[in-house]
Amino acid sequence: DGGITQSPKYLFRKEGQNVTLSCEQNLNHDAMYWYRQDPGQGLRLIYYSQIVNDFQKGDIAEGYSVSREKKESFPLTVTSAQKNPTAFYLCASTTSTGAWGNTIYFGEGSWLTVV
């Protein structure tokens, strides 16, 4: 089935550790996104990529890094510089570089907790 796969679903991070969240899509979408969602809150954009080997910072990029080496994959690394990383992370994609006019498809999300 086509879709977006995020892994792991639950992840625990110790203080000072970097962790990487995986996002893979088989929808042949050009654009991919990472959002952060805190409890009871909306979505905040972390990073987005419109094409392979290119990505842009969103509203809250500090403490995060991404790569886009393949069209299908857009992993997010939460670095130790991110002081409050506990949140629900959502990966998304859309058919073209103009997300404003297209449906965005989401993965099932990853819960990250700092222990």
Partner 1 sequence: SQQGEEDPQALSIQEGENATMNCSYKTSINNLQWYRQNSGRGLVHLILIRSNEREKHSGRLRVTLDTSKKSSSLLITASRAADTASYFCATGISGYSTLTFGKGTMLLVSP
Q: Which residues bind partner 1 (CB under 8 A)?
A: 4, 31, 33, 35, 40-43, 45, 48, 50, 56, 58-59, 88, 90, 92, 97-101, 103-109, 111
What's the min distance (Å) between Cβ of 74 and partner 1? 14
At residue 30, what is the residue type? Answer: D
Q: Locate tokens 């954009």: which residue? A: 45
Spatial contact of 68 and 24, defined as CB atoms under 8 Å apart: no
On the CB side of 78, CA atoms within 13 Å amount to: 26
What's the min distance (Å) between Cβ of 104 and partner 1? 6
Distance between CA atoms of 43 and 89, rounded to whole angstroms? 9
Q: What share of the chain is helix, strand, coil (3-state, %, to 5)?
A: 5, 50, 45
Q: Choose between 75 and 88: whose C-beta lies nearer to partner 1.
A: 88
Q: Choose between 27 and 80: whose C-beta lies nearer to partner 1.
A: 27
What's the min distance (Å) between Cβ of 45 and partner 1? 6
Q: Choose between 4 and 19: whose C-beta lies nearer to partner 1.
A: 4
